[in-house]
Structure 1
Amino acid sequence: MSLGDDTGQTRTRMPERGGDPYGGARRGGRSSSRSMVTVVGVVVLLIAAIAFANRGSGDSATEEGGAAGASPTSAATAPSGEKPVDAKAAGIPSGFAHDRQGAESAAANYAVVLVSADILKTARRTEIVRQVFVSDKQASLEERFDKAYTKEFLSNLGLDENGNAAANSPYVSRTMPIGTKVTSYSDTTAAVEVWCTGVFGTAGEKTTNPVTSDWFTMSLQLHWADDDWKVDSFSQKDGPAPVPGDDKASNAEEMAKAVQEYGGFTYAR
């Protein structure tokens, strides 16, 4: 897969609106919107060259739900009541079970951290890469991230050189898994799709990129290493997305307060 193919698109579609709901300047059009939200999709482009690297590994994989093309059973994301993990490393859930359910839980939790505001912060990004990815991909990924997240790039998002937002304009990128599906599984590898929704943007009074929402599906190739599931590669695509509702948009103060007061979850199958 080359860096120029179209399998890694995500968070690049913004609603066509005439004005900013936070009362700031008018949005600069589709091209400027794309430049802002590219940050949460750039991870996909950076590792597109190694995506699905293990598909030809020769492991004996089986399909979830039977024959190819068959719909997954309702048990694919039915709650089991089992806790996903008992520990965290670098603030990220770790120690997932060595089975299908453990792979699903790992994929859901990794989807959250890989499309988060933390990936923009230099120190935090290093922790994420070393905790989430297989060891032989870590060094190259860190180098690529450092080259991508330049001071100028971050400044265009309203962030400083360390990826931190201004006190009154918090940057938001939070992902919520809706469901998971195992598409292949063996004792050493697993392919899991995670259907997600999320919110992203800047919660500031004068921002031209207010917090909005999107829907996407992340496909993760996992490898069992160091007694845990680790990411070998992943990609994203838009949707499936429901018909938009008619909810009234919150103002900047309400959005910023919600981001600061409501924490995230540890996701299990």
Structure 2
Amino acid sequence: MSIGGDGGYGDERGIAGAGSGGRGRARTRTRLPEDDVVDAYEEPRRGPVRVGRSMMTVVGVVVLLIAALAFANRGGGDGSSGTGGPDAENRARPTAPTGERPVTTGTDGVPTGFPRTEQGAQSAAANYTVALGGTGMFDTERRHQLVDTLYTPEAAARIKGPQDEAYSAEFFERLGLDERGRAPEGMTFVSRAIPVGTKVTEYGDDSATVEVWYTSLIGMAGEESTLPVTTTWKTWTFDLRWTGSDWKIADDSQEDGPAPVPGDDRASTAEDISKAVEEYGGFTYAR
């Protein structure tokens, strides 16, 4: 910036002095780096201290990092242990992970051996949703195996008959399956449940009621399919009982929703869906 509004290139006084027979001396101004201009014959004037842009950038980054760390520590504990501290359960939001590790054991391909806690009950309900919403339920032998594994003995004996009637040849035909629940050659039958969140509505030492909000994929992927793969949104409620070593389903029910507004994503081809189902595996869910 200049002093006196002359753009830093001198003024009329300096020009007159140079042309007065040598009696006057030309006065010049020198442009220095960083836009600081100093008059060679006047005491330099001290302006306000200014912070450079680079310094402001550093300060801004530091502030953002501090804010991010504070937000992370508020939601997930100090990270010093798997449980996140004694009050991690109170700090966790309803749909946020609590930090509990998923189980490492399983029975017949289904995660089992969940702890006798509210979190354990929620993890059990989420994983049971995945198992009971998969293609295994369309095979009679596999369905009976899943029911025996996940339900109490009393509940398993009660629901096997009605389920066998529900998974009938007529039902399979409407889905494009054969009488044994298999997809035609060249097509892929898709049935997957994906938990979105869990909630405990009741809890006791030997019982728990857990709601699982989930979305599912259902349909036939293939060029000649008359039932393309679509999504649904439901809430599955489980009445769980502690059997001494794990949570088992004593009763369950479903209702529609909550369903979000559908997006405007372009639907993929049947080939892309079939490839995705074959290549992308599932997860073990832990609350």
**TM-score past 0.5 threshold:** yes
**1:121 maps to which residue?**
139
> Which residue of the other structure, out of 211, 230, 236, is the alignment partner of 2:229?
211
Q: In 2, are the aligned partners of 1:183 and 1:192 still within 8 Å (CA)?
A: yes
2:265 is paired with a residue of what secondary structure? coil
Q: How does 1:89-108 map to 2 (within 5 A)?
A: 89-108=107-126
2:200 is paired with a residue of what secondary structure? strand
> Which residue of the other structure, out of 260, 284, 287, is the alignment partner of 1:242?
260
> Which residue of the other structure, out of 251, 267, 270, is the alignment partner of 1:233?
251
**2:217 maps to which residue?**
199
Larger helix fraction of residues:
2
Pair 1:170 & 2:194 matched = no
CA distance in 1, matches of 2:170, 2:233: 28
Pair 1:80 & 2:98 matched = yes
CA distance in 2, matches of 1:171, 1:140: 28
1:124-179 CA-partner distances (Å, limit 9, x unpaired): 10111001101112123222222222223322322122211123111111111111
CA change 1:73–1:80 in 2 (3 A) is: closer
The CA RMSD measured in Å over matched residues stands at: 1.6
Cα offset, 1:78, TM superposition: 2.1
> Which residue of the other structure, out of 195, 205, 211, is the alignment partner of 1:187?
205
1:14-54 CA-partner distances (Å, limit 9, x unpaired): xxxxxxxxxxxxxxxxxxxxxxxxxxxxxxxxxxxxxxxxx
1:140 is paired with a residue of what secondary structure? helix
**2:158 maps to which residue?**
140
Q: TM-score, normalised by structure 2?
A: 0.66
**2:279 maps to which residue?**
261
**2:148 maps to which residue?**
130
Cα offset, 1:73, TM superposition: 8.0
Q: In 2, are the aligned partners of 1:76 and 1:182 still within 8 Å (CA)?
A: no
The residue identity in structure 1 corresponding to 2:97 is P
CA change 1:198–1:149 in 2 (3 A) is: closer
CA distance in 2, matches of 1:77, 1:86: 22
CA distance in 1, matches of 2:153, 2:223: 42
Q: How does 1:21-32 map to 2 (within 5 A)?
A: none
The residue identity in structure 2 corresponding to 1:218 is W
Which structure has the larger Rg over C-alpha atoms? Answer: 2
Q: In 1, are the aligned partners of 2:176 and 2:227 still within 8 Å (CA)?
A: no
Pair 1:154 & 2:172 matched = yes
CA distance in 1, matches of 2:205, 2:185: 47
1:70-129 CA-partner distances (Å, limit 9, x unpaired): xx9853332122222111101111000000000000010111122222111111101110
The residue identity in structure 2 corresponding to 1:133 is Y
Specify every segment of 5 or more residues in structure 1 that has no aligned partner in the other structure, as ranges. 1-71
CA change 1:111–1:73 in 2 (3 A) is: farther
Question: Bigger CA drift: 157-166 or 214-223?
Answer: 157-166
Q: In 2, are the aligned partners of 1:84 and 1:97 still within 8 Å (CA)?
A: no
CA distance in 2, matches of 1:195, 1:147: 26
Q: In 2, are the aligned partners of 1:222 and 1:232 still within 8 Å (CA)?
A: yes
1:161-204 CA-partner distances (Å, limit 9, x unpaired): 22111231111111111111101100100001111112111101
CA distance in 2, matches of 1:133, 1:169: 32
Cα offset, 1:219, TM superposition: 1.0
Which structure is richer in relative contact order (CA contacts within 8 A, separation 6 or more)? 1
Specify every segment of 5 or more residues in structure 2 that has no aligned partner in the other structure, as ranges. 1-89
CA distance in 2, matches of 1:137, 1:123: 17
